[in-house]
Amino acid sequence: MRGYIFRFLILFVSVLLQSVLLDKLLPGWGKPDIVLILTLYFGFKGGVMTGQTTGFLGGLLEDLPSGKQFGVNILIKTLIGFGAGNLHKKIFTENFSTIFSLVFIGTLVKEAMYLIGNQILPDTFTLYKKSGLLDFLLDIVLVETLVNAFLAPFIFKLLNKLNLSLEKEI
C-alpha cells in the first residue's frame, strides 16, 4: 500500500511541476515528460501491474486539466506502462547508456502513438494540420525525446535512492 501512496504522491508532484514550474523555466515547447519517465521507471522496476497502473494514474492526472483531449494520455501512458512492465527483469536499468536508450525509445514510441492518434482521431488529438507535421517533428518529437533521455538517468538514480519499498510491495 505504501508503494501505491508513494507513486501517487510522486506522480501528483510531477504533474504539478510540469504544469506550473517547468512552464516558467522552459516557456513554450520542449518540456520534459516526467510522468512518462516515471511510468517507464516503475514498469521496468515493478513489472506489468505497477507499470500499467502508474501509467493510468499519471495519464489521468495529466488529462484532468485538459479539455476534449481527456483520455488521450491515459490510453498512451497505460500502454507504455504495460510495455515497460513486460521488460521487467529482462533488462538491466542501472547504467546511464541503458536508461538513456530505453527512455529515448520510450519517448519515440509515445510520440508515434500521438502521431497515429492524430491520423485516426484528428478531432480529438487536434495536434496539427498537414503543414504542421515537420514543425511538430522538430520541435516536439526531437526536443522532448532528447530532454527526456538526458533527464531520465538522474530521475532513475533519485528514485533508486528513495528506495520506495516497491520490491516488497510486489
Partner 1 sequence: MFNLFFYKNKNIIVFFILMTLSIASIAFRSMRAKDLLSEVYNFVTLPFAELLTGTTNTISSLWNNLLYYNERLEKMKLLEKELEKKQASFENVELLQQEINRLKKMIDYKAVIPKLVPSSVESIAADIVMRSPNNYFPTFIINKGRHHGIKKSMPVIAFQLLRREGHPETLEQVVVGKIDQVTELAARILPITDPDCIIHVKLKSPLYSEYTGFIKGFGSYSQGLSLTNVDKSIDLVGEETLINEELVTSGEQSIFPRGIKVGFIKEDLSDESSNEKRFRVTPHVEYSRLSSVFVLKKELPKQLMKLIESMR
Q: Which residues bind partner 1 (CB under 8 A)?
A: 12, 15-16, 18-21, 23-24, 27-31, 33, 35, 47-49, 52-53, 56, 59-75, 78-79, 82, 85, 114, 121, 123-129, 131-132, 135-136, 140, 144
- Least separation in angstroms between CB 115 and partner 1: 11
Find cell 510540469 and name the residue. 18
Instruction: Please give the Cα distance from 116 to 6 (Å, whole number).
Output: 33
C-beta separation of 11 from 54 below 8 A: yes
Which residues, at least 6 apart from 94, have a Cβ–Cβ distance to it below 8 Å?
none
- Least separation in angstroms between CB 94 and partner 1: 24
**CB-wise, 94 or 137, nearer to partner 1?**
137
Count other Cβ atoms within 10 Å, centred on residue 7. 22
Q: Which three cell numbers stand for residue 14?
A: 510531477
C-beta separation of 79 from 55 below 8 A: yes
**CB-wise, 80 or 160, nearer to partner 1?**
80
For residue 36, the one-letter residue type is L
**CB-wise, 12 or 154, nearer to partner 1?**
12
**CB-wise, 73 or 93, nearer to partner 1?**
73
C-beta separation of 131 from 13 below 8 A: no
**CB-wise, 29 or 154, nearer to partner 1?**
29
- Least separation in angstroms between CB 121 and partner 1: 8
- Least separation in angstroms between CB 61 and partner 1: 8
